[in-house]
Structure 1
Amino acid sequence: MWALRRSSNRLKNQGFSIGTLQACHAKSEMLSTYYKDMTGICKSPQVINDCHLSSRKFYHPTDIYSVFSMGSCSFSSQAGAKSSGEEDDLEDGFSELEASGNAGGFQDSDAESEHEDELLSDPKSDDDEIESTQNELEPLDTDTDVSEKRSPRKRVSSELFKAIMAASDQPIHSVLNKWDQEGKDMSRAEIAQTMLNLRKIRMFLKALQFSEWMEEHKKLDMVERDYASRVDLIAKVRGLQKAEHYIEKIPKSFRGELVYRTLLANCVSTTNAKKAEEVFNKMKDLGFPITTFACNQLLLLYKRVDKKKIADVLLLMEKEDVKPSLFTYGLLIDTKGQSNDITGMEQIVETMKAEGIEPNLQVQSILVRHYVFGGLKEKAEAILKEMEGGNLKENRWVCRVLLPPYAALGKADDVERIWKVCESNPRLPEFVAAIEAYGKLKKVEEAEAIFNKMSKTFKRLSSKHYSALLKVYADHKMLIKGKDLVKQMSDSGCRIGPLTWDALVKLYVEAGEVEKADKILQKAMQQSPIKPMFSTYMAIMDQYAKRGDIHNSEKMFHQMRQSGYVSRLRQFQCLIQAYVNAKAPAYGIKERMKADNIFPNRVVAGQLAQVDAFRKSAVSDLLD
């Protein structure tokens, strides 16, 4: 795997420059590769002393994928490990944390289970551009190797789950009381499958109430994974503070590493850097080993909020002999790609292969995405052909991943060729991928035809499936058709949630009706307790900033904070741009950033100079 070469020198209780680090530590090839081009980005990365993350060293500006086996209520952090075979009727996209479709997902998940690969998102854009709702689980890594190609998954039915859904208008405790009184199955297997199904369709509140009822009525002998599951649900439904308070009530014998890493993952999913560091330090204080999972969570966090700190985590991993996983390499590859460092990205791939870890489908997808954006079409096509394998019909499960990047390359013939493999009996993810692909090829009629076929093939469609076509309409400024589709969606009884709000808002934004988009967002916030997606707010805020509309930009900034989104550089950058475009001074903006532990990069520093009310010019110096 990854042979770390330890230095005889201990890490000193001080920060070192990159040059000093290289002189004092015989770092692994991966660390050397990552550090090599960091000198222009990070002046002096801080060393993590005694394996603790302090807020002085780390600047501050996804929940856990729960797998419940039939034999036990197992709770693990195996994110994105999904079947490549037949899809459930409920569609895999409903299962929490399956954001990336394969082991080791690296993108953010959407509010209502959007698990498709972010193959076509702009690699140069900030991670926040594709940020999902933070009340949902972020894609986490798997600490164990998961085979890409697995046998089809069989859906296991749950009679208790069916009873709960049939009486969805009733309080869940009433349904459970009746079920218990009738002496029906309350085995651990039945409980586990019911919980899994509730999580799959993201009914987290009912899942939490279900868990609480089971414990209250002593229907389940609670073990650590059950407590971890409860922590996860509480964090989702009631917030991190309530989850922390619950942990204090867990019997000490069950208050183990799994419970705390569940809390850590939820801190990361909400991009709460300060709290994540506190939890990480507490895990160390409690004597839990520093694991690949915990380090990957920090990498995922700092990839979003402060890429300079990735080097610190890598140094910690080397010091503690923590072996990187496929997910670790994937994060580093994606980070290099976002920085347009194609050479560095390829070096990390070579290092990974040298350690005996082959790129999986997701890593290959990331490479394709950055090659496409960088204009390296031949390299992108070469990887796509490798992903196809020798026989696409035998590798049917890869079709949905291939469609979007081929469309991004403008390869209409390849999109048509791959869709023909699926056309006779398409699965839901293939339908969605085909709609997106034809939309990117500007073939709206073909995308509509595929959507119509999908709606006839499957009785129940989720908001995710409608949103695929809605996004096509938004990209092509087809406002009337988009409105008609939303009405059709509502008439079908489909739940309108954050994913739909996001598509609808962007539909109006693209049509130039920002005020209407804002009005839709405000109504959504009033009608539902579920908070909108991060990208929904930013789509509107960006437009207000372009106009130099300070009042509405500040309003969106404030609403995001009220919704629970931790302030980060992306929001401040947009806000400051509103002041720049309005040619108005931004009094106290530096202090606001400092209060939120947000530190400007080169671009933001330039913006701040433009809105500094007290800046001096050559003329002002003469006048003074």
Structure 2
Amino acid sequence: MWALRRAAHPLKNHGYCLGASRTCCVKSNIVCNDIEDRVVVCRPTRFISKRCLPINRFYHTPSVHAKFYLGSCSLSSQAGEKSSGEEDDSEDGVHELETSASADIFEESNTKEENIGEHVSEPELSDNDTAEASHNDMYFLDADMGTTEKDSHQKSGPSQLFKAIMAAPGKSVLGALDKWVEEGNDLGRAEISVAMLNLRKRRMYGRAWQFFEWLEANKRLDFVERDYASRIDLIAKIRGPLKAEKYIEKIPESFRGEVIYRTLLANCVAAGNIKKAEEVFNKMKDLEFPITAFACNQLLLLYKRHDNKKIADVLLLMEKENVKPSLFTYKLLIDTKGKSNDITGMDQLVETMKAEGIEPDIHIQAILARHYISGGLNEKAEAVLKEMEGSNLEENRVACRALLPLYGSLRNADEVGRVWEVCESNPQLNECVAAIEAYGKLGKIEEAEAVFERMLKTWKGLSSRHYSALLKVYANYKLLTKGKDLVKRMADDGCQIAAVTLDSLVKLYVEAGEVEKADSILQKAAQQNHMKPMVNSYLVIMDHYARRGDVHNAEKIFHKMRQSGYVSRMRQYQTLLLAYTNAKVSVYGFRERMKADNIFPNKSLAAQLVQVDPFRKTAVSDLLD
């Protein structure tokens, strides 16, 4: 663990204050230059996160003493999130738990996904999220329903009960289950397990939630702790973590174990609710549950996305509690270093990982290659890709899904063609999506379209995610007419527009210069389909309004994001302030608005605030006064 922190922080000194009345300083490799930003609260029994480890200093800065107050090592947030009702009843389309086996970029699903009317958003994945794209719904079914991983995978083919649930209209699942029992069909734990597993694999959380509601109401299953955990997970996905937390009160106390709270923690992280996630973590500490790599990784994932300054705090906690970093820990840290352009630090972490006896898997290799490409280190990227490929690509087909878009990013058409040739005779669905992405990066629109037509002929009932692959290509090249035709074709094929498709459609119109049309489409889709759009869909429109200096529409998008359950963060405020700056108008009460959301301006935002401050003093204003 010490080696990990040294790789993560090539720094020198930090200090500790133990207890409430005495202070001592020791040397270490953590640094904090941001002394003025620190909030010092000395408690002997809590670990206070003080926002004092910004990510740039987390990697390479001069040595400065930083102080930590270490007690029972729980976390609290200074820049937390509102826990008001604005999050209630909001579904959560992504549940990111640590696993090495079910990352979306390597998943194949030939089944049409749940329709939007069932409150399901497709995962918000992007090229920059491969390190954290592990949606481990299998975790709940393999363990929660009482079957072993091996058994559940053997039985994971569609069951008759699953087919009955699928055949029922969206709001008639309960009736279909009543009919199933009346006809004398089997409803044992094994049958329930397989049906629920198939629903989760297809992210049909609405139907899975109704299934659990029916099981509990009709006492058809003797619930154990992991069943309750699976129930909490579905409630959080459909109605939000706050509703899931309230459900815990209904669980018999003997079943309120660590699995219950870590499930809630993971969903708070997926929802991006910093304050609530830290509260749950603290609750787990108060209940004397062991601090595990799983719980720490959830915090790392949360801070990686929303508050990089706190990553070092978690590593300190892991070191103090003797928590050994897992493969997922390294994935998160390596990706974070790559995004900060610290390639040297990224390589050092890989060496540290290997020294600990953990070999990089294909996901980590893909992360490394992506960041090498972004940093212009094409030769290093190519070396990693050859390592991913192995000696025989035909026997290592799992690598093709990652290799195709990465070779596309390298603009290496020959290698894209070679890898696709391995897949072309008998392609998997995810390989087709990867090939479309790769050809799109190369600007080979016709080749991308050919692969898409191949998909349509090979598989029936493709989901909106598969149409989105080609739609993104059209958006990147501003092919508005082709994009419109594809959306119409998608509708004719009976495929509903989901959040990921809507995001591509919004980008298509924005890139074509039709920002108002993109805005209109976004609002209509959210209202008519009762979906929660991806946060990026709002931001791409808001960015354009801000660059225009269109304060009215920028404020409107800001408000719509809050209505959709996205609590305002630094990114939204920076964009909104840019709109005021470009409009050259003063803004009143902006600091107070940020403070109400527990957001404190960084240096760049503080400089922006000065420019639009109606009360700022200048040389001319001083003369006139």
**Which residue does 1:415 correspond to in 2?**
416
Identify if the C-alpha distance between structure 1 residues 141 and 218 changes in structure 2 by more than 3 Å, giving closer, same or farther. Answer: closer
Give the structure 1 partner of residue 620 of structure 2. Answer: 619
1:138–1:269 Cα contact (<8 Å) kept:
no
Q: d(CA) in 1 for partners of 2:198 and 2:523?
A: 31
* Aligned counterparts of 1:141 and 1:372: Cα–Cα separation in 2: 33
CA–CA separation in structure 2 for the residues paired with 1:498 and 1:5: 38
For residues 335-377 of structure 1, the C-alpha deviation after alignment (integer angstroms, 9 at most, x for no partner) is 1111111111111111111111111111111111111111111
**1:5 CA drift (Å):** 11
| 1:210 equivalent in alignment to 2:211 | yes
Deviation at 1:187, TM superposition (A): 1.3
For the Cα contact (< 8 Å) 2:105–2:430, is it kept in 1? no
> Following TM superposition, by how much is the alpha carbon of 1:141 offset from its aligned partner in structure 2, in angstroms?
12
Secondary structure at the counterpart of residue 298 of structure 1: helix
Match of 2:305? 304
1:26-37 matched pairs, under 5 angstroms: 37=59
Q: Per the alignment, in what secondary structure is the counterpart of residue 51 of structure 1? A: coil
Asked if 1:89 is matched to 2:110, the reply is yes
Residues 411 and 51 of structure 1, relative CA distance in 2, 3 Å threshold: same
1:258 is paired with a residue of what secondary structure?
helix
* CA gap 1:38/1:54 in 2 versus in 1, 3 angstroms: farther
Q: Distance in 2 between matches of 1:601 and 1:560?
A: 22
- What whole-Å deviation, never above 9, does each CA across 1:423-480 have from its counterpart, x for those lacking one? 0011000000000110110000110011001100111210000000000010111111
1:234 alignment counterpart: 235
For the 8 Å contact 2:3–2:352, the answer to whether it is kept is no
* Distance in 2 separating the partners of 1:388 and 1:163: 42
- 1 CA distance for matches of 2:121 and 2:366? 22
After TM superposition, the structure 1 stretch with the greater mean CA deviation from structure 2, 595-604 or 534-543, is 595-604
- For residue 36 of structure 1, report the CA deviation from its aligned partner: 6.3
Whole-angstrom distance in 2 between the partners of 1:453 and 1:24: 53
Q: 1:596 to 1:405 in 2, by over 3 A?
A: same
TM-score normalised according to structure 2 size: 0.84
Tell me, in whole angstroms, the C-alpha distance in 1 between the residues paired with 2:498 and 2:378.
Answer: 37
* Deviation by residue 1:159-201 (Cα, 9 ceiling, x = unmatched): 0110111222551111011100111010111111111222223
Partner amino acid for 2:345? G
Three-state SS of the structure 1 residue aligned to 2:346 is helix
1:416, CA displacement in angstroms? 0.4
- The aligned residue for residue 36 of structure 2 is none
Matches within 5 A, 1:528-539: 528-539=529-540
Equivalent-residue separation in structure 2 for 1:24 and 1:338 (angstroms): 20
C-alpha distance 484-182 of structure 1, shift in aligned 2 (>3 A): same
Contact 2:268 2:274 in 1 (8 A): yes
Matches of 1:568 and 1:141, distance apart in 2: 32
Provide Cα deviations, 1:136-162, integer angstroms capped at 9, x if missing partner: 99679999xxxxxx9x97651210110
* 1:55 and 2:77 matched: yes
Q: Please give the per-residue CA displacement for 1:549-597, whole angstroms capped at 9, x wherever unaligned.
A: 1111111111111111121111111111111111122211112112211
Q: Residue 545 of structure 2 corresponds to which residue in structure 1? A: 544
Verify: 1:606 aligned to 2:607, yes or no.
yes
Write out aligned runs for 1:168-567 (5 A): 168-169=169-170, 171-567=172-568
Retained in 1: the 8 A contact 2:509–2:518? yes
CA contact 1:80–1:140 (8 Å) conserved in 2:
no
Q: For residues 362 and 131 of structure 2, what CA distance do their matches in structure 1 show?
A: 22
Between the aligned partners of 1:504 and 1:45, the Cα distance in structure 2 is 48
SS at match of 2:213: helix
* 1:202 shift after superposition: 2.4
SS of residue in 2 equivalent to 1:249: coil
Deviation at 1:38, TM superposition (A): 5.1
- State the shift of 1:15 in Å: 13
Is 1:112–2:134 an aligned residue pair? no
**Closer/same/farther in 2, CA of residues 239 and 142 from structure 1, 3 Å limit:** closer
Kindly report the root-mean-square deviation, in angstroms, between the aligned alpha carbons of the 2 structures: 3.6
Q: 1:22 aligns with which of 24, 28, 47?
A: 28
Shift of residue 59 of structure 1?
Answer: 5.4
For the residues of structure 2 that align with 1:42 and 1:225, how far apart are their CA atoms? 46
Q: Do the aligned residues in 1 keep the contact of 2:475 with 2:509 (CA within 8 Å)?
A: yes
- Please tell me whether the aligned partners of residues 228 and 262 of structure 1 are also in contact (alpha carbons under 8 angstroms): yes
Note closer, same or farther for the CA distance 1:478–1:34 as it changes in structure 2 (3 Å cut): closer
After superposition, the Cα gap between the structure-2 partners of 1:197 and 1:24, relative to the gap in structure 1 and judged at 3 Å, is closer
Between the aligned residues of both structures, percent identity stands at 62
Cα distance between partner residues in 2 of 1:307 and 1:140: 26
Letter in 1 for 2:395: E
Instruction: Decide whether the 8 Å contact of 1:305 with 1:569 is kept in 2.
Output: no
Task: Report SS of the residue matched to 2:338.
Answer: helix
Contact residue 60 and residue 596 of structure 1 kept, 8 A: yes
Paired position in structure 1 for 2:85: none
**TM-score normalised over the length of structure 1:** 0.84
- Which stretches in structure 1 are left out of the alignment for 5+ residues? 26-30, 67-75, 95-109, 122-126, 144-149
Cα shift readout 1:502-522 (whole Å, capped 9, x = no counterpart): 111110000000000000011
Q: Does 1:12 align with 2:18?
A: yes
> Quick one: which amino acid aligns to residue 37 of structure 1?
Y
Question: What secondary structure, in the 3-state scheme, does the structure 2 residue paired with 1:50 have?
Answer: coil
- Kindly indicate whether the alpha-carbon contact (under 8 Å) linking 2:94 and 2:270 is maintained by their aligned counterparts in 1: no
Change in Cα spacing, 1:446 to 1:587, as seen in structure 2 (3 Å) is: same
Does the Cα contact within 8 Å between 1:113 and 1:464 map onto a contact in 2? no
Residue pair 2:106, 2:430 contacting (<8 A) in 1 also:
no
Q: Is the CA contact (8 Å cut-off) linking 1:164 and 1:175 kept in structure 2?
A: yes
The one-letter amino acid paired with 1:434 is A
Name the SS for the 1:385 alignment partner: helix
Which amino acid is 1:81 matched to?
S
The 10-residue stretch of structure 1 (590-599 or 569-578) with the greater mean CA deviation from structure 2: 590-599
CA contact (8 A) 1:199 1:207 kept: yes
Instruction: Call closer, same or farther: CA 1:165–1:296 in 2, change over 3 Å.
Output: same
- The number of aligned residues is 571
CA contact (8 A) 1:517 1:540 kept: yes
CA distance in 1, matches of 2:22, 2:492: 62
The whole-number CA distance in structure 1 between the counterparts of 2:290 and 2:131 is 30
Q: 1:470–1:88: structure 2 CA closer, same or farther, 3 Å change rule?
A: closer
User: Quick check: 2:373–2:409 contact (8 Å CA) kept in 1?
Assistant: yes
Deviations 1:470-500 (A, max 9, x none): 0001011111110110011011111211111
8 Å CA contact 1:498, 1:530 repeated in 2: yes
Cα deviation, residue 623, structure 1: 3.2
Q: Distance in 1 between matches of 2:339 and 2:64?
A: 16
Partner of 1:539, secondary structure, is helix
- Matched residue type, 1:157: P
- Corresponding residue number in structure 2 for 1:103: none
Distance in 2 between the 1:200 and 1:549 partners?
43
Using a 3 Å threshold, how does the CA distance of structure 1 residues 607 and 83 change in structure 2: closer, same or farther? closer
Distance 1:11 1:323, change over 3 A: farther
CA contact (8 A) 1:64 1:77 kept: no
Aligned pair in 2 of structure 1 residues 357, 14: CA closer, same or farther (>3 Å)?
farther
Q: 8 Å contact 1:77–1:142 — kept in the other structure? A: no
> For structure 1, which segment, 191-200 or 462-471, has the greater mean C-alpha deviation from structure 2 after superposition?
191-200
Which SS does the other structure have where 1:460 is aligned?
coil
Identify which range, 470-479 or 36-45, moves more after superposition. 36-45
Letter of the 2:161 partner, please give it.
L
Contact 2:372 2:381 in 1 (8 A): yes
Q: How far did 1:81 drift?
A: 2.7
